[in-house]
């Protein structure tokens, strides 16, 4: 039979109503052009069409042609327009906005390359997505304007697009699907099937023209190895849409995305006698994307046949060189992704008649030495283990993988290691943004006797394919390759196939197999090099791994932290997180991730810069600041982010303050006055741009009682991810802006600039406006906390942390609002584990609240939060966080990159604040404010060579029977001195400092710079 039920969502093209011509483009007077910063755009008429000329110059951005046009959208329609042009690869977007302008629907065409000839775009209701806006009703009902938008793609440059014949064809609502009728049912008499000669075509009538997603053929004992699928609307003109040349029976899934037809015809080679038990006509969603097809196949297959990420949430970590020149991933189950977006190598073990994959073992993860970015995945099988390790060779910039199979039993074992090359990334399909995870198309696999060449299909039509080589240092016993049509995806460890294969479905697979007999306790290693040139031998392979480990030990050892065993995970994670920041870079560019977040934000970069400076890595920060400084717009605007396309013009009004802070911090930590002088023009241009922004909000209209909470703030923006639907007056922006003013005033004083006094006055005025707006917002919204945005009254303590560091406004904030803000955040976090908790997910940027609580004198609560966040590392042994943590660990969701380098830097700064932090409002260095008694047990803690803006500090501290013993040394000389707070239970007595008695005030000792030994007994 034909599975008709799956056609329930198929749309029937009914008799159309008259076509409504929306614009013939006889005149283009109603159209206006606009463009983002640094982009030019011009609208003109060209032979009865609209022409949009644009030039992206050196920046990213967009060019827009827009006209007011009211459209009342029917439930079912086809919108058509003709497009042509001459341009490089860009993103084309057709947008519709409502009367408010805030709610936008769009049809995006990514990586669009217009042709010189007219091509018709057909847009159905399913193609139109709600893009953004505050409306709770996302349905497309009435819009008031239409836009044709060209967004810079990979290539940039100048070009033009032309648009003509914008028409809306109204269709009747979809009719209930009729059961499809096969014109030849002889081969469809039941699951067992009957012999049928498909050389005499089998025609299936769907009853009307429908959109389908594809077919699944269920063969009987005899199958067709070669056949084709044709479609027709009238049964006279047929189009071949799929050929199968290497079928192997069983079930044949045939994705046919975008197919609209009434008739389907199956034709096998002449004379082929086959048994076709069933044809399933699959719905559109089944093949909407390659990931959708694979996910459907994975759900129907035994667990473990496909990677975990297609059916449940999976986790992974980054393996890269310092600077990111080579970048791979390893998944929690042992699969390796060989490059960004590339294919993976997945292990299997054949134990007798059983093939063992990730779903059949207990997998554990670890890092070399507990912190080095050299990850392992260990499988515990029945009497054997498999250890998978991945290393990014720092010297040669290539990935090295090693598989170690060990017999843990008491008798000899014969086992086969099967390494499957699969058309999947380790980055799972739920991840997107800069790069879509999931399927990674493989066009060809070929074994030449020493290396496996894997050719990936190009991401953009017309681009060159990329071939990568996998070179095993131990020759496999067998190497086979198979196409998708031979069921390769469902049987990844199979031993059948050929030495090479080209797959028109772009889903080729390959398998390398090694069979070994191991004595009890014996191991066999299989080393692989993922590069054109492999190490000469195993000795060179082992040496490369040893040298890379040594490189990372040295790089991560600028600051040493010794802690009690119970706190070792924190110390290890600080060093691993530093590696994550360094590995996520792309040369000079700091990036929060290498896949989803493969672009550089000034926000992330400024905070990563603070992190690296504290840990003694100034050179990468200098390189980033110098590189980013070249990306500023001519008017002083600092781009929120930069990627391969150039600076992004999206207005995120924290950017100016972050750039100024970055440049000024470099001077504070390095003393490089010449660099500060060199960067002054850019720094001051950013300050002047920011000054114009804030003055635009110091208007009489914003002095009215209902708008007083907006007066003098930076304009609304979407720098906060929660405000993407509608820009808001985000205090995140304002605290960063105030930081920028403070740092600009400081830099002007250092350089002896005449405008230093003016900038200081602007700083003070802005600070006053911010605090007045906070108080006004608390009254307006009737809230007892500092809001995230004064225009919303929302709660976001993580955003408010910026008021304390780096803005240093703690003493000026309303103390009741400040206290309640972080009490509420503490309660939110600590109740997440309570029975009946209903939270869905959170972002580990929240780690910044640990630092805030330390600064508020709540060291115990700060440690409670830190413990809660540490528990959400996934997997814990890899010491990393994604951007999003879900309550249900296996529920599929977007989680961003793993690790997320901005989260890593947030963790580092908060963890370091436990030991020492800069109180910039008082020019003091506060020591041990986050160290609770469990930190000081046994030998206690020792921190050496921790950098601050005041110099380097060393701290040794432990508790003994009588109280506290501490030593402070280093060259740090904060103008306000050191502050040491009593960290133990019990009341403190009088302390001695270098043998001299010193009375503490409220459990606080104030110390001058220099080496001090403190003995502080319990009273």
Q: What is the pLDDT of residue 197?
A: 57
The Cα angle at residue 937 between residues 932 and 939, in degrees rounded to 5: 125
State which H helix or E strand residue 764 sits in: helix 756-781
* 8 Å CB contact between 105 and 71: no
* 8 Å CB contact between 948 and 915: no
Domain 4-11+178-288, architecture per CATH: Sandwich (2.60)
Residue 761 confidence (pLDDT) above 60: yes
Task: Give the chain's mean pLDDT.
Answer: 93
pLDDT digits (tens, 9 = 90+) for 404-446: 999 999 999 999 999 999 999 999 999 999 999 999 999 999 9
Tokens 């020493």 belong to 450
Whether the bond between 843 and the residue before it is cis, its omega within 30 degrees of 0, is no
Give CA–CA dist 447/526, Å, rounded: 17
Do 19-170 and 4-11+178-288 fall under one CATH topology?
yes
Q: How far, in whole angstroms, is CA 765 from its chain's centroid?
A: 38
For residue 200, give Cα distances in angstroms to 193, 271, 273, 630, 691: 16, 9, 10, 68, 78
Q: What is the mean pLDDT of residues 298-304?
A: 97
Give CA–CA dist 912/743, Å, rounded: 22
Give CA–CA dist 472/470, Å, rounded: 7
Q: What is the pLDDT of residue 1019?
A: 85
Q: How many CA atoms lie within 13 A of 188 on its CB side?
A: 17
Token pair belonging to 370 = 């507990």
pLDDT digits (tens, 9 = 90+) for 47-99: 999 999 999 999 999 999 999 999 999 999 999 999 999 878 899 999 999 99
Q: How many CA atoms lie within 13 A of 502 on its CB side?
A: 2
Nearest CA among 399, 347, 338, 352 for reference residue 374:
399
Residue 13 confidence (pLDDT) above 70: no
Q: How far, in whole angstroms, is CA 215 from its chain's centroid?
A: 34
Q: Dump the DSSP string for 188-217.
A: -SSSS--EEETTS-EEEEEEEEEEEEEEEE
* 8 Å CB contact between 778 and 784: yes
Tokens 């089998």 belong to 202
For residue 264, give Cα distances in angstroms to 177, 243, 277, 484, 875: 16, 13, 17, 22, 48
Give CA–CA dist 526/406, Å, rounded: 12
Computed on alpha carbons and rounded to an integer, the radius of gyration of the chain in Å comes to 32
Burial of 612 (0-12, 13-18, 19+ CB in 10 A): buried
Token pair belonging to 381 = 């099988």
Tokens 């042009």 belong to 85
Give CA–CA dist 546/544, Å, rounded: 5
Identify the three-state secondary structure at position 399: strand
Identify the three-state secondary structure at position 952: strand
What's the CATH superfamily of 19-170? Galactose-binding lectin (2.60.120.430)
Residue 240 confidence (pLDDT) above 80: yes
Q: What is the pLDDT of residue 198?
A: 65
State which H helix or E strand residue 453 sits in: strand 452-456
* 8 Å CB contact between 467 and 435: no
Residue 180 confidence (pLDDT) above 80: no
Q: What is the mean pLDDT of residues 134-157?
A: 93
Nearest CA among 76, 92, 74 for reference residue 84:
92
Residue 16 confidence (pLDDT) above 60: no
pLDDT digits (tens, 9 = 90+) for 358-373: 999 999 999 999 999 9
Phi, psi of 762 (to 5 degrees): -60, -40
Q: In this structure, how many other beta carbons lie within 10 angstroms of the beta carbon of residue 727?
A: 19
Give CA–CA dist 588/612, Å, rounded: 13
Phi, psi of 701 (to 5 degrees): -60, -30
Whether the bond between 149 and the residue before it is cis, its omega within 30 degrees of 0, is no
Give CA–CA dist 684/663, Å, rounded: 11
CATH topology of domain 560-918: Glycosyltransferase (1.50.10)
* Bridge partners, 523 (sequence order): 406
pLDDT digits (tens, 9 = 90+) for 471-515: 999 999 999 999 999 999 999 999 999 999 999 999 999 999 999
Strand ranges in 815-932 using DSSP code E only, listed in sequence order: 841-842, 885-886, 916-919, 924-927
Whether the bond between 806 and the residue before it is cis, its omega within 30 degrees of 0, is yes
* 8 Å CB contact between 59 and 39: yes
Percentage of the chain beyond pLDDT 70 is 95
Q: What is the pLDDT of residue 191?
A: 31
pLDDT digits (tens, 9 = 90+) for 654-709: 999 999 999 999 999 999 999 999 999 999 999 999 999 999 999 999 999 999 99
Give CA–CA dist 17/655, Å, rounded: 51
State which H helix or E strand residue 768 sits in: helix 756-781
Q: Work out whether strand 49-55 and strand 62-72 pair parallel, antiparallel, or are unpaired.
A: unpaired
Token pair belonging to 617 = 């890595």
Question: CB neighbours of 211 closer than 8 A, spacing ≥ 6?
Answer: 10, 11, 258, 259, 260, 284
Residue 355 confidence (pLDDT) above 80: yes
Strand ranges in 568-636 using DSSP code E only, listed in sequence order: 600-601
Nearest CA among 272, 300, 295 for reference residue 285:
295
Strand ranges in 716-845 using DSSP code E only, listed in sequence order: 841-842
Question: CB neighbours of 974 closer than 8 A, spacing ≥ 6?
Answer: 918, 923, 924, 925, 948, 950, 1009
CA dihedral angle for residue 775, residue 778, residue 782, residue 784, rounded to 10 degrees? -110
Percentage of the chain beyond pLDDT 90 is 88
Give CA–CA dist 291/276, Å, rounded: 27
pLDDT digits (tens, 9 = 90+) for 877-898: 999 999 999 999 999 999 999 9
Q: How many CA atoms lie within 13 A of 259 on its CB side?
A: 28
Phi, psi of 391 (to 5 degrees): -135, 135
* 8 Å CB contact between 349 and 416: yes
* 8 Å CB contact between 375 and 367: yes
Give CA–CA dist 379/248, Å, rounded: 32
The structural domains of the chain, with segments of one domain joined by +, span 4-11+178-288, 19-170, 300-555, 560-918, 922-1017
Give CA–CA dist 733/788, Å, rounded: 10
Token pair belonging to 598 = 């493969």
Q: What is the mean pLDDT of residues 784-800?
A: 98
Residue 838 confidence (pLDDT) above 60: yes
pTM: 0.94
Q: What is the pLDDT of residue 199?
A: 61
Nearest CA among 202, 411, 216 for reference residue 301:
216
Strand ranges in 269-340 using DSSP code E only, listed in sequence order: 273-282, 316-320, 327-331, 336-337
* Bridge partners, 55 (sequence order): 40, 158
Q: How far, in whole angstroms, is CA 942 from its chain's centroid?
A: 35
Give CA–CA dist 971/951, Å, rounded: 6
- CATH, domain 922-1017, list 2.60.40, 2.60.420, 3.50.50, 1.20.1530: 2.60.420
Residue 961 confidence (pLDDT) above 90: no
Tokens 């449940």 belong to 312
Give CA–CA dist 980/316, Å, rounded: 40
Q: What is the pLDDT of residue 193?
A: 36
pLDDT digits (tens, 9 = 90+) for 853-863: 999 999 999 99
Phi, psi of 259 (to 5 degrees): -85, 130
Q: What is the pLDDT of residue 188?
A: 40
Q: Looking at domain 300-555, does it have CATH number 2.70.98.40?
A: yes
């Amino acid at each position: 039979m034909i599975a008709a039920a799956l056609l329930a969502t198929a749309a029937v093209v009914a008799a159309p109503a008259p076509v409504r011509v929306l614009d013939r483009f006889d005149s283009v007077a109603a159209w206006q052009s606009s463009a983002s910063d640094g982009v030019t755009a011009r609208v003109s008429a060209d032979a009865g069409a609209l022409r949009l000329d644009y030039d992206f110059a050196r920046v990213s951005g967009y060019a827009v042609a827009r006209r007011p046009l009211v459209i009342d959208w029917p439930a079912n329609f086809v919108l058509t327009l003709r497009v042509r042009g001459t341009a490089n690869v860009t993103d084309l977007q057709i947008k519709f906005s409502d009367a408010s302008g805030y709610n936008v629907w769009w049809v995006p065409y990514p990586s669009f390359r217009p042709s010189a000839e007219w091509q018709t775009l057909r847009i159905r209701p399913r193609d139109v997505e709600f893009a953004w806006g505050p409306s709770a009703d996302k349905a497309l009902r009435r819009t008031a304007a239409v836009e044709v938008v060209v967004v810079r793609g990979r290539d940039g440059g100048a070009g033009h697009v032309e648009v003509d014949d914008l028409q809306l064809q109204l269709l009747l609502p979809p009719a209930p699907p009729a059961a499809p009728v096969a014109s030849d049912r002889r081969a469809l008499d039941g699951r067992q099937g009957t012999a049928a000669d498909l050389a005499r075509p089998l025609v299936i009538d769907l009853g009307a023209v429908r959109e389908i997603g594809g077919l699944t053929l269920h063969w009987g004992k005899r199958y067709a190895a070669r056949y084709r699928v044709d479609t027709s609307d009238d049964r006279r003109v047929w189009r071949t849409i799929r050929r199968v040349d290497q079928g192997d029976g069983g079930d044949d899934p045939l994705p046919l995305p975008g197919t609209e037809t009434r008739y389907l015809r199956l034709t096998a080679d002449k004379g082929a006698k086959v048994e076709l038990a069933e044809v399933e006509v699959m719905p559109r969603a089944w093949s909407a994307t390659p990931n959708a097809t694979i996910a459907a196949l994975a759900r129907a297959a035994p667990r473990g046949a496909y990677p975990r990420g297609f059916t449940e949430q999976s986790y992974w970590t980054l393996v890269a060189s310092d600077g990111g020149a080579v970048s791979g991933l390893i998944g929690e189950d042992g699969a390796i992704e060989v490059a960004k977006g590339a294919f993976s190598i997945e292990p299997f073990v054949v134990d007798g008649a059983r093939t063992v994959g990730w779903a059949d073992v207990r997998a554990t993860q670890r890092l070399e030495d507990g912190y080095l970015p050299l990850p392992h995945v260990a499988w515990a099988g029945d009497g054997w283990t498999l250890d998978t390790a991945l290393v990014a060779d720092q010297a040669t910039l290539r990935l090295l993988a090693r598989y170690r199979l060990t017999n843990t039993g008491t008798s000899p074992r014969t086992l086969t290691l099967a390494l499957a090359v699969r058309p999947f990334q380790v980055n799972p399909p739920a991840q997107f943004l800069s790069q879509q995870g999931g399927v990674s198309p493989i066009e060809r696999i070929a074994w030449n006797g020493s290396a496996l060449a894997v050719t990936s299909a190009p991401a953009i039509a017309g681009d060159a394919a990329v071939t990568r080589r996998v070179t095993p240092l131990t020759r496999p016993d067998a190497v086979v390759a198979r196409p998708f049509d031979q069921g390769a995806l469902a049987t990844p460890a199979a031993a059948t196939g050929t030495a090479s294969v080209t797959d028109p479905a772009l889903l080729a697979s390959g398998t390398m197999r090694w069979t070994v007999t191991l004595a009890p306790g014996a191991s066999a290693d299989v080393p692989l090099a993922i590069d054109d040139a492999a190490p000469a031998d195993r000795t060179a392979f082992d040496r490369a791994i040893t040298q890379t480990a040594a490189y990372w030990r040295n790089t991560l050892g600028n600051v040493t932290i010794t802690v009690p065993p119970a706190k070792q995970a924190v110390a290890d994670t600080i060093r691993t997180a530093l590696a994550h920041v360094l590995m996520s870079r792309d040369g000079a560019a700091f990036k929060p991730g290498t896949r989803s977040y493969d672009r550089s934000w000034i926000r992330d970069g400024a905070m990563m810069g603070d992190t690296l400076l504290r840990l003694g890595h100034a050179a990468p920060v200098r390189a980033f600041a110098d590189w980013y400084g070249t990306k500023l717009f001519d008017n002083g605007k600092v781009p929120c982010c930069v990627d391969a396309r150039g600076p992004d013009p999206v207005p995120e009004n924290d950017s100016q303050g972050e750039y100024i802070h970055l440049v000024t911090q470099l001077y504070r930590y390095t003393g490089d006055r010449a660099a500060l002088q060199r960067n002054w023009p850019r720094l001051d241009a950013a300050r002047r741009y920011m000054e114009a922004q804030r003055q635009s909000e110091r208007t009489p209209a914003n002095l009215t009682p209902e708008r007083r909470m907006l007066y003098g703030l930076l304009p609304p923006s979407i720098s906060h991810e929660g405000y993407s639907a509608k820009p808001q007056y985000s205090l995140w922006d304002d605290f960063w802006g105030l930081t920028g003013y403070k740092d600009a005033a400081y830099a002007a004083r250092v350089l002896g600039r005449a405008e230093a006094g003016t900038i200081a006055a602007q700083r003070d005025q802005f600070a006053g406006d911010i605090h007045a707006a906070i108080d006004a917002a608390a009254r307006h919204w009737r809230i007892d906390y500092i809001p995230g945005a004064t225009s919303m009254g929302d709660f976001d303590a993580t955003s408010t942390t910026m008021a304390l560091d780096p803005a240093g406004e703690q003493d000026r904030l309303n103390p009741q609002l400040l206290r309640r803000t972080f009490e509420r955040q503490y309660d939110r976090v600590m109740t997440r584990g309570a029975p009946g908790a209903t939270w869905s997910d959170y972002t580990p940027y929240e780690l910044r609240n640990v630092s805030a609580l330390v600064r508020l004198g709540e060291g115990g609560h700060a440690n409670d939060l830190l413990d809660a966040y540490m528990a959400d590392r996934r997997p814990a042994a890899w010491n990393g966080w994604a951007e999003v943590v879900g309550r249900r660990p296996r529920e599929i969701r977007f989680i961003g990159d793993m690790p997320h380098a901005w989260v890593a830097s947030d963790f580092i700064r908060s963890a370091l604040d436990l030991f020492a932090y800069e109180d910039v409002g008082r020019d003091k260095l506060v020591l041990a404010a986050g160290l609770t008694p469990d930190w000081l047990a046994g030998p206690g803690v020792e921190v050496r060579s921790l950098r601050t803006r005041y110099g380097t500090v060393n701290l040794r501290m432990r508790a003994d029977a009588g109280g506290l013993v501490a030593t402070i040394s280093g060259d740090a000389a904060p103008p306000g001195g050191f502050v040491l707070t009593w960290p133990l239970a019990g009341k403190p007595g009088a302390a001695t400092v270098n043998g001299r008695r010193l009375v503490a005030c409220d459990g606080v000792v104030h110390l001058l710079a220099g080496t001090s030994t403190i003995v502080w007994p319990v009273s």
